[in-house]
Chain A
Amino acid sequence: MASLWEYANPVKFLRTSERVLPALWILSAACLAVGLIWGFFFTPDDFRQGSTVKIIYLHVPSALMAINAWIMMLVASLVWLVRRHHVSALAAKAAAPVGVTMTLIALGTGAIWGQPMWGTYWAWDPRLTSFLILFLFYLGYMALWAAIEDPDSAADLTSVLCLVGSVFALLSRYAVLFWNQGLHQGASLSLDKEENVADVFYLPLLVCIAGFVFLFFALVLYRTGTEIRVRRARALTLRAARGA
């Protein structure tokens, strides 16, 4: 078996993240507080959407992070497959639950926003449907990690799954666009990020996005540290059991 624990990389990671984490937590809390309070209390209602426009400060950042979390997992998986840095594999594993949470927030706020706008809590709008499918991909990824005993095997298999999944997630995105557009003509139901968001909404939105980004990084760094510690404890226990 390979050397018990190439402590070099993970140690450095733990030390660096310990130093950086407090700042990240504070930054994310600050941005979230400022952004949400600003958006909730100090912005006007939208002409068409009324006060529901305030949901934008949660829906857009969470949707962005749901996708970005998966992209980060994809990159980390590639790094693992090519460079075999354990920290990378564990970072991908750590990011998944955060991505799931973001996806759920996006789905939940999307559905709640949909009720007054479309008259229904759920509509098979291409964007919401794509997020639902993304949720399934996250679940599969996490389930695979949980099902495999050997950490290196798990890292290998989940990395390939992430790669393959990414291709199919993209394919699904286009298929779903086709599937809904093709059936219903008429007004787009989706909440357009590209739609010209007026400045008065745009600035607090940016702050909220920043808050979510900082929170994502804080959570992933923290959780990766946890994974590293769990792995190290497991390795030590195994070694002790064998040596004894």
Chain B
Amino acid sequence: MMPDLGKYADAVLSAYAVSIIFLIAIVAASLITGRKARAALESVEAQEDQNDAH
């Protein structure tokens, strides 16, 4: 299944590994901060609604 990368196997595989790690990192970081921001906004808006109701 794996193509014969010959003597360049290390280079090719590490290049792919590095890239994929970076891509996963930016996507994960974005999703995590996104979820946190969403939750924070919801709680602040809930506070607002509570305050307005008084």
Contacts and interface: CB of A to CB of B under 8 A. Distances in A.
Direct contact of A and B (CB under 8 A): yes
Contacts of B1: 41
A52 B23 contact: no
State the majority secondary structure of interface residues on A: helix
Given A226-B30, A226-B34, A237-B44, A101 B11 contact: no
State the majority secondary structure of interface residues on B: helix
Interface string A36-58: 10001100010000111011001
Nearest to B31: A222
B11 A55 contact: yes
Interface string A106-128: 00110011011000000000000
B6 to A, nearest CB: 6
A101 B22 CA distance: 7
Contacts, number: 100
B37 A112 contact: no
A85 interface: no
A219 B31 CA distance: 9
Nearest to B5: A51
A236 B29 CA distance: 25
Interface in B11-53: 11-12, 14-16, 18-19, 22-23, 25-27, 29-31, 33-34, 37-38, 40-41, 44-45, 47-48, 51
Nearest to A59: B15
A59 B12 CA distance: 11
Interface residues of B, number: 34
B7 A50 contact: yes
Contacts of A36: 16
A222 B8 contact: no
Contacts of A55: 11-12, 15-16
Contacts of B14: 112
B40 A229 contact: yes
Nearest to B4: A51
Nearest to B38: A229
Given A226-B37, A233-B44, A52 B8 contact: yes
A117 B3 CA distance: 20
Interface string A9-53: 000000000000000000000000000100011000100001110
Given A36-B16, A236-B41, 7 more contacts: A45-B6, A52-B11, A55-B16, A108-B15, A109-B15, A226-B30, A240-B51
Interface of B: 1, 3-9, 11-12, 14-16, 18-19, 22-23, 25-27, 29-31, 33-34, 37-38, 40-41, 44-45, 47-48, 51
